[in-house]
């Protein structure tokens, strides 16, 4: 891989982190429907309605959607940044074969496919009015794009590990899978606005495990926001079950990451990655706890999403480096 491609990959990783963080900010500041259409905003591809005439035209065209310029700009800036990331990924794909073949094409084609799917999910997020399963899949799509970019960059970097065991290689995959599962649970918690269901920690509503958790509707995916599959309002017990699952699974992820990181610290060439993974998972858990204690201030809530992306990036980079080592 050429130096320019490596630089482009690094830029793509940083841009993906920004897109994920900005997407979290849009969602958490209740601006996810700041634009009721896609890909434009009230029919405009550039900018949002701001003049008196444009606002009146937007109200006529979209009578169900109040025109709020501040929210619309948040949504459009997120789309512009995501579009820029798409162009970077397209450039990576083209540079693999032109002007001459100089890099593996398969991961780049996979990335382009992910971007197309992610764009479709972004459209459905708006047109299907924040349907929780679509919002969660949209978050996971962004995380998978980041993970793929990080994996490609790790594969192009100098090998950091000479030898390792097959057990360590398998453990790296398990840890990465657990982190992805926890991100999915976090996305489901956020998409259902269940973050405030437990306002204390380590207890939840004064109990380690509330006795009246409603599991029957907690993980039903084919339903609208705030509703059960039969159109009834989601109960607090359902939201609590979603939240409690996310925070409980976090303990499993914490234990797995800590055990894996401590094992890596036994070997000189894996110790730096072990230290980084340990710091990343501890910071992420502390951010989660702080959000509960402080009642989810916007800055900390966004940082919790960014921390999840950073933790996944560290896990993927470590996994790829370990797979390259001799057993």
Considering the domain architecture, whether residues 168 and 215 belong to the same structural domain is answered as yes
Distances (CA, A) of 262 to 163, 166, 167: 17, 17, 14
Considering the domain architecture, whether residues 178 and 246 belong to the same structural domain is answered as yes
299 contact partners, CB below 8 Å, separation of at least 6: none
Q: What is the pLDDT of residue 196?
A: 94
Considering the domain architecture, whether residues 152 and 164 belong to the same structural domain is answered as no
Burial tier of 254 (Cβ tally within 10 Å: 0-12, 13-18, 19+)? middle
pLDDT in tens, 253-286: 999 999 999 999 999 999 999 999 999 999 999 9
Q: At which of 130, 157, 184 does a domain end?
A: 157
Sign of the CA dihedral running 131, 136, 141, 146:
positive
Beta-carbon-side half-sphere exposure of residue 176 (alpha carbons within 13 Å): 22
Considering the domain architecture, whether residues 2 and 109 belong to the same structural domain is answered as yes
pLDDT in tens, 43-67: 999 999 999 999 999 999 999 999 9
Mean pLDDT is highest, among 39-48, 101-110, 133-142, for 133-142
Considering the domain architecture, whether residues 69 and 153 belong to the same structural domain is answered as yes
Considering the domain architecture, whether residues 291 and 269 belong to the same structural domain is answered as yes
Please tell me the total count of domains within the chain.
2
Q: At which of 115, 131, 157 does a domain end?
A: 157
The whole-angstrom separation of Cα 302 and Cα 316 is 21
Burial tier of 211 (Cβ tally within 10 Å: 0-12, 13-18, 19+)? exposed
Residue-range definition of the domain harbouring residue 122: 1-157
SS3 207: strand
DSSP state of 151: H
Considering the domain architecture, whether residues 54 and 142 belong to the same structural domain is answered as yes
Considering the domain architecture, whether residues 148 and 238 belong to the same structural domain is answered as no
SS3 214: coil
Considering the domain architecture, whether residues 98 and 233 belong to the same structural domain is answered as no
Query: Is residue 197 over pLDDT 90?
Result: yes
DSSP state of 326: B
Q: What is the pLDDT of residue 104?
A: 77
Quick one: pLDDT band at residue 105, thresholds 50, 70, 90? confident
Residue range 170-194: mean pLDDT, rounded: 98
Quick one: pLDDT band at residue 106, thresholds 50, 70, 90? confident
Q: At which of 129, 157, 185 does a domain end?
A: 157
75 is catalytic: yes
Distances (CA, A) of 254 to 35, 258, 286: 38, 6, 11
pLDDT in tens, 206-262: 999 999 999 999 999 999 999 999 999 999 999 999 999 999 999 999 999 999 999
Considering the domain architecture, whether residues 19 and 81 belong to the same structural domain is answered as yes
Considering the domain architecture, whether residues 134 and 219 belong to the same structural domain is answered as no
Considering the domain architecture, whether residues 145 and 223 belong to the same structural domain is answered as no
In the set 54, 57, 68, 75, the catalytic residue is 75
């Amino acid at each position: 891989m050429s130096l320019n491609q490596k630089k482009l990959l690094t830029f793509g990783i940083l841009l993906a982190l920004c897109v994920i963080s900005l997407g979290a900010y849009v969602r958490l500041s209740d601006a996810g429907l700041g634009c009721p259409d896609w890909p434009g905003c009230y029919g405009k591809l550039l900018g949002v309605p701001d003049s008196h005439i444009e606002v009146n035209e937007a109200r006529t065209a979209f009578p169900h959607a109040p025109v709020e310029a501040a929210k619309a700009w948040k949504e459009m800036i997120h789309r512009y940044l995501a579009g820029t990331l798409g162009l970077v990924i397209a450039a990576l794909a083209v540079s693999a074969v032109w002007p001459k073949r100089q890099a593996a094409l398969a991961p780049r084609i996979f990335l382009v496919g992910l971007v197309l799917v992610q764009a479709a999910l972004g459209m459905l997020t708006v047109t299907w009015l924040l349907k929780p399963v679509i919002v969660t899949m949209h978050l996971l799509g962004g995380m998978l794009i980041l993970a793929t970019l990080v994996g490609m960059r790790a594969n192009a970097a100098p090998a950091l590990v000479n030898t390792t065991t097959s057990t360590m290689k398998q453990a790296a995959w398990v840890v990465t899978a657990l982190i992805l599962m926890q991100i999915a649970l976090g996305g489901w918690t956020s998409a259902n606005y269940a973050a405030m269901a437990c306002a204390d920690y380590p207890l939840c509503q004064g109990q380690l495990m509330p006795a009246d958790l409603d599991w029957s509707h907690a993980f039903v995916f084919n339903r609208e926001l705030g509703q059960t599959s039969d159109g009834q309002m989601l109960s607090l017990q359902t939201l609590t079950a979603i939240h409690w699952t996310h925070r409980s699974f976090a303990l499993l992820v914490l234990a797995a990451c800590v055990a894996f990181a401590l094992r890596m610290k036994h070997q000189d060439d894996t110790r730096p990655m072990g230290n980084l993974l340990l710091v990343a998972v501890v910071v992420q858990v502390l951010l989660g706890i702080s959000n509960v204690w402080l009642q989810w201030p916007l800055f900390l809530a966004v940082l919790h999403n960014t921390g999840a992306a950073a933790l996944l990036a560290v896990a993927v980079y470590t996994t790829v480096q370990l797979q390259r080592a001799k057993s």
